[in-house]
Amino acid sequence: MILLVSLIPISFGILTYFFKKKTSLLVTISYILTFLFLTILQEGSFVVGNYSALKGIEFTFNFTIKFLLILFNLFSLITFFRIYKNYDHVFFSLWLLLTGSINGFFMSRDFFNIYVHLELASILTFLLLSYDKNEIRIWAALKYMMMSLVSLNFYLIGVGILYSNSGTLNLNYNLSNGINTFAFSFILTGLLTKGGLFFLSGWLPDAHTEAVKGTSPILSGIIVKLPLFIIYLLIPSLPNELRIFLYYFAVITAICSSLFTLLQNDIKKFMAYSTMTQMSYGLMIILINPPFFPYFIVYHMFTKGFLFMIAEDIYEKNGTKNLKELDGSQISLDTFFFAYFLADELRRIVPL
């Protein structure tokens, strides 16, 4: 039953590809069924094929996962209703596949299965980023894909070292027995590169800035936080020396990305660099107060996601993202107050 949370969007994504005239209906049904199962499923763990957790692939469904998935799917549904007239059935087939892979990612408790879902989400994001085949967007998507390839290879090297030591890919078992520091260094390097932190993630500004409408909110709202969620899962076994290093790294990257944020004239690039700053804050939260991190995910997903939606609407109306060129342009009063409220609320938790 747990697997249905991931299989329903993936299955309907395939159906959407073949029944293009029923795209909106199929996407809506997919979300309704996903919400239904998220509501009625009981908490617990499940191993595919009834193997032991050490040999099989374990999935976990608890209150935290339920909380994250309900709100992520709600955010994804809101984004869908904003753009359902903009794209064809192939786009939304990929959209549902991405939703299913993210659902599966949050429930996975096997190092390699986490990699599979993260890699699938990366490939689908790459395809969605440049869906209109614009040359600039294609190059931004390629940069994202190449950095993803490098970062996930580091992750896999670390996972291979773990497997050679413990004989299992089960995350909970490896945590309970302590993770090799050498393996940890490879895993963390990959995750920090993938997670949008300054110095390591040169892909993020261009990807966020050039993405087609509807993709930037998902990319900033959830995709960049997936690697940090893995660090959140690993934090109980993180050696103290690595915690100290990561804390100083987070502080330095937050300061540097904040400075770069202030230098931007492109409204979407401004928010992209601020996302890098907020990923550093997210890392600090994991190190200082891990139980608060799932709430950070949700809060940042809605606030920054909605801000990117507003930026997309402004660009669509005015034909420019340049803040200097937008000076003097008129926006509706409700849009202004909504943007001001979101930016103000975001500053209270994670200063821009």
Give a three-class secondary structure readout of the chain.
CCCHHHHHHHHHHHHHHHCHHHHHHHHHHHHHHHHHHHHHCCCEEEEHHHCCCCCCCEEEECHHHHHHHHHHHHHHHHHHHHHCCCCCHHHHHHHHHHHHHHHHHHHECEHHHHHHHHHHHHHHHHHHHCCCCCHHHHHHHHHHHHHHHHHHHHHHHHHHHHHHHHCCCEHHHHHHCCCCHHHHHHHHHHHHHHCCCCCCCCCHHHHHHHCCCCHHHHHHHCHHHHHHHHHHHHHHHCCHHHHHHHHHHHHHHHHHHHHHHHCCCEHHHHHHHHHHHHHHHHHHHHHHCHHHHHHHHHHHHHHHHHHHHHHHHHHHHHCCCEHHHHCCCCCCHHHHHHHHHHHHHHHHHCCC
Whether residues 182 and 102 fall in one domain = no
Residue pointed to by tokens 């996962």: 65
pLDDT value for 209:
85
Residue 38 pLDDT more than 90? Answer: yes
Whether residues 323 and 228 fall in one domain = yes
Domain's final residue, options 70, 86, 109? 109
The closest of 127, 101, 117, 97 to 13, measured between CA atoms, is 97
Domain's final residue, options 48, 83, 109? 109
pLDDT > 70 fraction of the chain, expressed in percent and rounded: 91
pLDDT band with cut points at 50, 70 and 90 for residue 267: confident
- What's the structural domain count of the chain? 2
Domain's final residue, options 67, 89, 109? 109
Instruction: Identify residue 44 by its one-letter amino acid code.
Output: G
Question: Phi and psi for 182 in degrees, rounded to 5?
Answer: -65, -45
pLDDT band with cut points at 50, 70 and 90 for residue 114: very high
pLDDT band with cut points at 50, 70 and 90 for residue 335: low
Residue 346 pLDDT more than 50? Answer: no
Residues 86-110 have pLDDT tens digits of: 999 999 999 999 999 999 999 999 9
Would the pTM of this model clear 0.75, i.e. be above it?
yes
Whether residues 287 and 348 fall in one domain = yes
Whether residues 102 and 152 fall in one domain = no
Average pLDDT (8-16) is 96
Question: Phi and psi for 264 in degrees, rounded to 5?
Answer: -90, 140
Average pLDDT (150-171) is 92
Residues 179-215 have pLDDT tens digits of: 788 888 899 999 998 888 877 667 788 888 888 999 9
pLDDT value for 265:
86
Whether residues 215 and 350 fall in one domain = yes
Is 191:171 a contact under the CB 8 Å cutoff? no
Whether residues 26 and 171 fall in one domain = no
- Average confidence score pLDDT of the chain: 88
Whether residues 36 and 136 fall in one domain = no
pLDDT value for 74:
97
Whether residues 19 and 97 fall in one domain = yes
pLDDT value for 330:
61
Whether residues 61 and 132 fall in one domain = no
- Contact partners, residue 344, CB within 8 Å, separation at least 6: none
Whether residues 101 and 167 fall in one domain = no
Enclosing domain of residue 136: 110-352
Average pLDDT (229-247) is 90
| Residue bearing the bigger pLDDT, 242 or 10 | 10
pLDDT value for 338:
53
Whether residues 169 and 278 fall in one domain = yes
| Across 52-56, 148-152, 332-336, least confident range | 332-336
Residue 340 pLDDT more than 70? Answer: no
pLDDT value for 134:
86
Whether residues 277 and 344 fall in one domain = yes
